[in-house]
A and B are shown apart, each in its own frame.
Chain A
C-alpha cells in the first residue's frame, strides 16, 4: 500500500477560482514534506517544502499546510491561472533515509478559461 495518498485524483476548475488538494501519509517519522508541480511532458519541479515542525509555507499563489498530528497536508491554489494546469505531487522524506522518498500518485488539475 502506498504510504502517500492524494485526493482527488483529478479536478477541473475555472480560471480565477481557488482549489485545495489533499495529501495523507503514513510515513513516520519523517523529516520533510514537499509539493512538486509536474507539467505535462516535463519533470517535477519543487513548489514548497515543510519540515515536520512547520505548519504552512507559501510560494506565490501556492500555500501548503501540514498537520503532523493527523498526518495530512494540503496545497491551496489561489486565483488559478491556465498555467496552473498540471499534476501536483506530494512527496514525503522519511527520517531514516533522506534519499528513499515516498511519492503520491498526484492530483491532475485542469484550469479552464
Chain B
C-alpha cells in the first residue's frame, strides 16, 4: 500500500530534550516536506526537500533541522524543543515534475513540549 508513515504518532517531552520525528514514504517520491498545524493558523511549511541531500527552509524553520540522506526518509529534528513547538506535525511527499502533483500526507504526530 502506497503511504507516508510517521513515528511516533504521539509524543510528550520536556523543554530542551532533543527529539526526532521520523517520516518515510514508499512511493519513490522525490519531494518531501514537513508542516505544522496549529488551531486557526492552518498548515505551515517547516522544511522541504527536492531530493536526496537537497533541503530548503519553509515559512517557519526556526528551531527545526532536517536531513535527507535517503530518498524514502525525511526526519524532523528538534535539537532543543520549547513549549511553542507544541503542535500537530505532518510529513508529506509528492512526485516532482508536472505542476499540480498531489501531496500525500502522513497520519500526523502530536507533539507536546512541557
Contact = CB atoms under 8 A, between A and B. Distances in A.
Interface residues of B, number: 26
A26 to B, nearest CB: 14
Interface string A77-113: 0000000000001000100001111011110000000
Contact of B33 (A41, A93, A99, A104): A99
A7 interface: no
A101 B45 contact: yes
Interface stretch (A12-20, A44-52, A67-75): A44-52
B42 A105 contact: yes
A43 interface: yes
Interface of B: 4, 31, 33, 35, 40-45, 48, 50, 58-59, 90, 92, 99-108
Contact of B105 (A2, A32, A43, A105): A43
A4 interface: yes
B42 A43 contact: no
A103 B92 CA distance: 14
A22 interface: no
Contacts of A101: 45, 103
Contacts of B90: 43-44
Interface string A31-43: 1101000000111
